[in-house]
Structure 1
Amino acid sequence: MTRTKHDQADSTIPLGPTGRPFREFPAPPALNGHGPARIISLCNQKGGVGKTTTTINLGATLAEDGRRVLAVDFDPQGALSAGLGVQTHDVTTIYDLLLSRHRDPFEAIQKTSVEGLDVIPANIDLSAAEVHLVNEVAREQILAGVLRRVAPEYDVILVDCQPSLGLLTVNALTASHGVVIPLECEFFALRGVALLIETIDKVRDRLNPAIELDGILATMYDSRTLHSREVLERVVDAFGDEVLETVITRTVKFPDASVAGTPITQFAPEHQAAKAYRQLARELVFRGAIA
């Protein structure tokens, strides 16, 4: 078949890992004011898929772009707090705010090394929260009540969920306007996405009609392996434009930055991974998920 000039021109456009034409998203415009925040949960019931890494680095990048960001550590392991180098013991944590509605949420907020990025920490105490909350009235909406009080001071609130679909995760989804699903480019990670989306649909039907899927983020991608490429191709086939164009590749720089207690955008600002998270932040602004 003879190719037209139009086809030939299209063939010169480089494709990104998702099979769509590669494009760089523009830098987001400056904001005229701040707040109220849009709340986004980073959620996946499978552990080790990049939820915490994404929360840290997306938050840092948005702060670089002039957004006021609050990261909420909602995982008893406290990895987000450790990754941002903040105190988790002998301080007010998200657990304290869940158990006492009279506590001022601003007591728990700590500054980070990134200007414009704050955090509410968590520690192992949070693991007991589900037991304490199970008999509470409107137990699924307690986090929403906490975040509602601080939302006017921020442009975006990022909630780093624990790897489960229990009461804490349902609280996060009930409080959120949107969800980003980090998805490791590995077969077993792919299997759980349908269940997670089903849970989001149930929360939308019963608790939070406004919640939206802001995107599925492919993480730990390795273009050298056929397995990574095939998993990403299957995700795009199944979910189409719900898969974000930005793809986060696997690199040892992420654990190095975590040990240093700083985002990769500060630890290695010129590294390809830091550039990928800047691209992610700009894509989410471009899509309208973040102001």
Structure 2
Amino acid sequence: MGKIIAITNQKGGVGKTTTALNLSASLALANEDILVIDSDPQGNLTSGFGIKKEDMKAGLYEVYSGKASIEDAVLQTIIPNLYIIATSMDLFAAEIELLETQERENLLKLLLKPLKEKFRYIFIDCPPSFGLLTLNALVAAESVIVPVQCEYFAMEGLSILIKLLWRIRGNFNETLDIEGILLTMYNRHLALSRQIADDVRRVFKSKVYDTVIPRNVVLAESPSHGKPAVLYAPNSSGAQGYIALAKEILNENNLLF
């Protein structure tokens, strides 16, 4: 049975979508069957795979609103065994409509049940805010990957998020766990980057991935070409960082890369 992992941080610009894009691609290139869900109405993950609205038979909004089944929304990406449930700006409406829905925090969990057997991992890319879309993702997920930018205020934002996750665990999802904390946008030449990385490791210890994602222009550039960095420039330091992360995750779960 597959594992559902939300990629979340209420702080914007920390590398959530970049992580969803490149980690899912790296695992798929390692011959794992992967599904990634774009739960951010901005749709950056969708466009990062080169998918346009006209390419979508249905998106996440149509699934939430009952206009399409979740199976109808699954779309193959440019990587053979990597699939996406894409989204568009219509998803903004889902947050309002969910307010009037019974079991509104459990809807995504129920919708994903038919797909869990089909994929090794299901990743949910969350919006940079806490609302019903993020709550649905955290209730559906078994664990979370938390990207943390190696810059000022990182520890403060991380502490707030951890308190929020434990509240979700206490009220909605008692099995929710931290899959790992991922240090992103790391610059080894900057003392601040090194200090933030050391502080996060000191506080959260084994929950922090060994892999660190460097600040790399390719990671920002590749989505404009509709490709993850691991396809666009596989030898770049950013792409190599996500390939290393995929290996680390597979090793932790006793799977061969």
Q: State whether TM-score is above 0.5.
A: yes
Tell me, yes or no, if the aligned pair for 1:144 and 1:175 is still in contact at 8 Å: yes
Check whether the contact 2:143–2:176 (CA below 8 A) recurs between aligned residues.
yes
Please state whether the residue corresponding to 2:90 is helix, strand or coil.
Answer: helix
C-alpha distance in 2 between matches for 1:93 and 1:189: 33
Structure 1 residue 275 displacement after superposition: 1.6
Deviations 1:146-194 (A, max 9, x none): 1112222111101000001111111100000110000000112331111
Structure 2 CA distance for aligned equivalents of residues 275 and 132 of structure 1: 41
SS at match of 1:247: strand
Letter of the 2:229 partner, please give it: I
Asked which structure has the greater CA Rg, the reply is 1
Counterpart residue number, 2:37? 72
The residue number in structure 1 matching 2:98 is 133
**4+ residue runs over 4 A deviation:** none
Distance 1:189 1:77 in 2: 23
Instruction: Look up the match of 1:110.
Output: 75
> Structure 1: which 5+ residue stretches go unaligned?
1-35
Partner residue in 2 for 1:224? 189
Residue aligned with 1:187, SS: coil
Distance apart, 1:71 and its partner CA = 0.6
Q: Is residue 246 of structure 1 aligned with residue 214 of structure 2?
A: no
Shift, 1:247, TM fit = 0.2
Distance 1:47 1:77 in 2: 12
Q: Which amino acid aligns with 2:65?
A: L
Partners in 2 of 1:289 and 1:105 — Cα distance? 30
**Which structure 2 residue ranges, 5 or more long, are not aligned?**
none
Superposed, which structure 2 residues align to 1:260-279 within 5 Å? 260-279=225-244
2:130 corresponds in structure 1 to 165
1:263 Cα offset (Å): 1.0
Tell me the TM-score normalized by structure 2.
0.95
Q: Is the 8 A contact 1:87 1:121 kept in 2?
A: no
Shift of 1:290: 7.5
Give the 3-state SS of the residue equivalent to 1:192 in structure 2: helix
**In structure 1, C-alpha distance between the alignment counterparts of 2:192 and 2:255, rounded to whole Å:** 32
| Conservation of the 8 A alpha-carbon contact between 1:38 and 1:290 | no
1:94 counterpart residue number: 60
User: In the alignment, is the contact (CA less than 8 A) between 1:178 and 1:289 conserved in 2?
Assistant: no
- Give the paired residue count: 255
Q: What's the TM-score once normalised by structure 1's chain length?
A: 0.84
- Give yes or no for contact 1:37–1:155 (8 Å, CA) kept in 2: yes
Look up the SS of the partner of 2:53 in the other structure: coil
- Kept in 2, the 8 Å contact 1:56–1:80? The answer is yes
Instruction: Give me the identity figure in percent.
Output: 36
Identify, as 1 or 2, the structure richer in helix: 2
Shift of 1:200: 1.1
CA contact (8 A) 1:156 1:290 kept: no
Q: Bigger CA drift: 208-217 or 270-279? A: 270-279
Give the whole-Å Cα distance in 1 for the aligned partners of 2:207 and 2:41: 29
* SS state at 1:172 partner: helix
Query: Residues 1-291 of structure 1: matches in 2 within 5 Å?
Result: 36-89=1-54, 91-100=57-66, 103-288=68-253
- Tell whether the 8 Å contact from 2:229 to 2:238 is kept in structure 1 after alignment: yes
- The one-letter code matched in structure 2 to 1:180 is I
